[in-house]
Structure 1
């Protein structure tokens, strides 16, 4: 948490900031590997060593010499190396920022950290015809794509979902929008009115959350439920914020301020889903250009990330 590993924490430590590492549930690790369509002759790059679970499964399946694992946290890498050595496994481990130039080239890249857009170094490390499996940062979308001759990749957003921490460039993530959230918790909005849909924990409403973060890059969300009711907050780096308050499932009173009306945009996405029976994200076509930009399309809908 915030750069402090549990192994190094003292009983009275109270770290602040965002989580920076976790041990991924084994079924989710297996899911990501299955999306990779990995065969015995493939060389695999695991991006995001973490506790080493995916690396261990892959090395058992392919053999240690075909698996490389990278992570920015040197302690995590060393701990995973020792842990796997105790299991008789010796894959290649590298400590580095995964968005920098990567060691070697690979038939398969599976990332259990999310990125947005796709780092150019990942595309460059993927062999022609190779397969990339990753998640798009700040969404629950799994992107699978095959390397194309132009240096990009083409594939789909799977009809499946997962979420991982985003790539980082230091021991912790930069500060978020804490000050703006404090304003959103206390201030009266420039615009105050009732809305249609109940207050929801947006981050756990994966399809809606993913469409919201694609439509409004940089938006952050928060949610609280008490015996008295539910409150959700939205904030954006441009200074926009919204606070929605309601008793359980009643229509919420929403305060909004700033250049955007964030809750109004969320409401339009929820209305779109209800009218159409779903949103166009899952199963949509994905084209990744050599610079890492992700172009999504399905029917008349399209969006670009990066």
Structure 2
């Protein structure tokens, strides 16, 4: 591994410009130490990879601008066996470096500021912050005690020693900081996080189940004001235990042949909602909590499913771009809600999300406003 520096230098050249103050941090941080083992996502399921078994591959993966998945469900790659194939959602990773730096740039940190990194994960992001601002200025937290333990050991091996704590952002935090950056998605802005931000300090986070990055500054009343950044991102959502609670995914299979209470022909073609980030985001702000699934057959037959915790559901089926047959049930018509958002996009040319004003009350209620449009995240 003696040649890791040439790989780190190549990564720095790829993700920073020559005058970037982050270039030395990327070039001087041994990312491979933070991802000794990882999960490959294959069509048949996750496959374990061990860097020590293939050092050349390890260097290519560690110093690529890609997210390296380290934990699925409750199983970390560090503890896995080659024949393990965990099910569930990703629960930890080393975020792709360009996105990590993107969040740090929105943070606008400066020398002498105390910085809180929420979502330690592999520890690589904390290493970048410590390299640039000093160990004594950086605190990194994660809800998972194994992640913080492993990160502290790997940070030490990389020559870094920021303060590393096991903590839940939904609970009171031990300190106050000038800058707080979240490389996990927050379902809301918890009052505990506002309390940990000094007046005039800046918080940057992605809102869960959206592509929105919000940057806000704390005000004298204990709330915060700011904007939706003219940028987008997506992260794993915060959790409170070993894994996320059971979701609504099991309902999708039940909906394959279910007859809708209302059956109609859709106005727009079937699409992968979660890959149409602006649509997905506006729909989430309009009807929070919809789970999505998309299936496509070899003949071009497409099916989109939507499920909500209140019992609402929708299934839209069509061949390629043909108008879909839409089945809907429950108290709300989810596909109709989606079509309203799509109609707004088509008629107005945009959804007006980026640059919107943000106001967060001291109790964490967040309002996003643009003109007469208001969305509330509670």
Query: What TM bracket, shorter-length normalisation?
Result: over 0.9
5+ residue gaps, structure 2: 1-71
The residue aligned with 1:223 is: 294
Q: What's 1:52 paired with?
A: 123
Asked if structure 2 preserves the Cα contact closer than 8 Å seen for 1:280 and 1:301, the reply is no
Contact 1:181 1:241 in 2 (8 A): no
1:140 and 2:211 matched: yes
Q: Give TM-score scaled by structure 1 length.
A: 0.97
Cα shift at 1:183: 2.3
Return the alpha-carbon distance in structure 2 between the equivalents of residues 88 and 6 of structure 1: 23
Deviations 1:3-44 (A, max 9, x none): 111111123323222221122100000000000001011110
1:135-158 deviations in Å (ceiling 9; x for gaps): 111111001000000101000111
Say whether the 8 Å CA contact 1:240–1:259 is kept in structure 2: yes
Structure 1 match to 2:325: 253
Tell me the residue number matched to 1:280. Answer: 352
CA–CA separation in structure 2 for the residues paired with 1:16 and 1:275: 41
* Greater displacement, 49-58 / 182-191: 182-191
- Give yes or no for contact 1:144–1:158 (8 Å, CA) kept in 2: yes
User: Which is bigger in relative contact order (C-alpha 8 A, separation at least 6)?
Assistant: 1
Shift of 1:280: 2.0
Larger Rg: 1 or 2?
Answer: 2
- Moved runs in structure 1, 4+ residues, more than 6 A? none
> Cα deviations across residues 152-194 of structure 1 (Å, max 9, x unaligned)?
1000111110011111110000111134322222312111121
Residue 199 of structure 1: how far off its partner (Å): 1.1
- The Cα of 1:125 is off from its aligned counterpart by 0.4
| 1:118 paired to 2:194 | no
Q: TM-score, normalised by structure 2?
A: 0.79
Matching residue of 1:35: 106
Counterparts of residues 76-115 of structure 1 (less than 5 Å)? 76-115=147-186
CA distance in 1, matches of 2:181, 2:250: 36
Residue number in structure 1 paired with 2:227:
156
SS in 1 for 2:256: helix
Cross-structure match for 1:172:
243
1:305 pairs with 2:359: no
CA RMSD of aligned residues (A): 1.1
Specify every segment of 5 or more residues in structure 1 that has no aligned partner in the other structure, as ranges.
Answer: none
Query: What's the offset of the Cα at 1:122?
Result: 0.7
Q: Residues 100-145 of structure 1, C-alpha deviation per residue, up to 9 Å, x if partnerless? A: 1112110000001111220111100000100000011111100100
Q: 1:263-278, aligned counterparts within 5 Å? A: 263-278=335-350
Q: For residues 53 and 153 of structure 1, what CA distance do their matches in structure 2 show?
A: 29
Q: Does 1:184 align with 2:255?
A: yes
